[in-house]
Amino acid sequence: MRREILVYPDPFLSRKAVPVAAVNDRIRDLVRDMFETMYAAEGVGLAATQVGVGKRVIVLDVSPVDETLAPMAVVNPEIVSRKGSVTGVEGCLSVPGVQGEVCRAETVEVRGLDEQGNPLRIHAAGILSRALQHEIDHLDGILFIERASSSAAASAK
């Protein structure tokens, strides 16, 4: 089921999401809905907070940029290490029409659970690293325009 994507300045986007207690059918249904919503909007990532659900769940499919990477869902994602820094252009389905330069860690290690509840550890670089950091920021109530150059933040308002 496709869900509505909340758009800035919706106050729900500023809320910090709570951890998922158990990966069950409701969470798997949410993951399916999030993938459908993300694909319909032609995005590469989506956080549950962007569809009005205050749970720590993200979905990603960066294969349009790097076809070696498969789509993934991560429940309770947590960045456990960061290395380096790199600046790149980002956009967001919740801030349509706005792009900005954002400095992110070059590589990250993320742990969490897959959509079956199995432990997951992801070592990411490139677009996957950037997308993971962007979506985890959403779960912490942070939009990319808060990290971007002042011109991106100004054009969002």
- Flag whether 143 is in a domain: yes
pLDDT at position 85 is 97
Distance CA 96, CA 104 (A): 21
pLDDT at position 54 is 98
- Flag whether 149 is in a domain: yes
Among all chains, which residue has been given the structure tokens 């309770």?
Answer: 76
- Flag whether 83 is in a domain: yes
- Flag whether 144 is in a domain: yes
- Flag whether 79 is in a domain: yes
Q: Tens digits of per-residue pLDDT, 50-89?
A: 999 999 999 999 999 999 999 999 999 999 999 999 999 9
- Flag whether 75 is in a domain: yes
Q: What is the CATH number of the domain that holds 52?
A: 3.90.45.10
Residues with pLDDT less than 70, the chain: 150-157
Distance CA 134, CA 111 (A): 15
pLDDT at position 149 is 81
- Flag whether 6 is in a domain: no
Mind telling me the catalytic residues? 135
Number of domains in the chain: 1
Which structural domain, as residue segments, surrounds residue 127?
11-156
pLDDT at position 152 is 55
Q: pTM here?
A: 0.95
- Flag whether 28 is in a domain: yes
- Positive or negative torsion for Cα 133, 61, 69, 152: negative
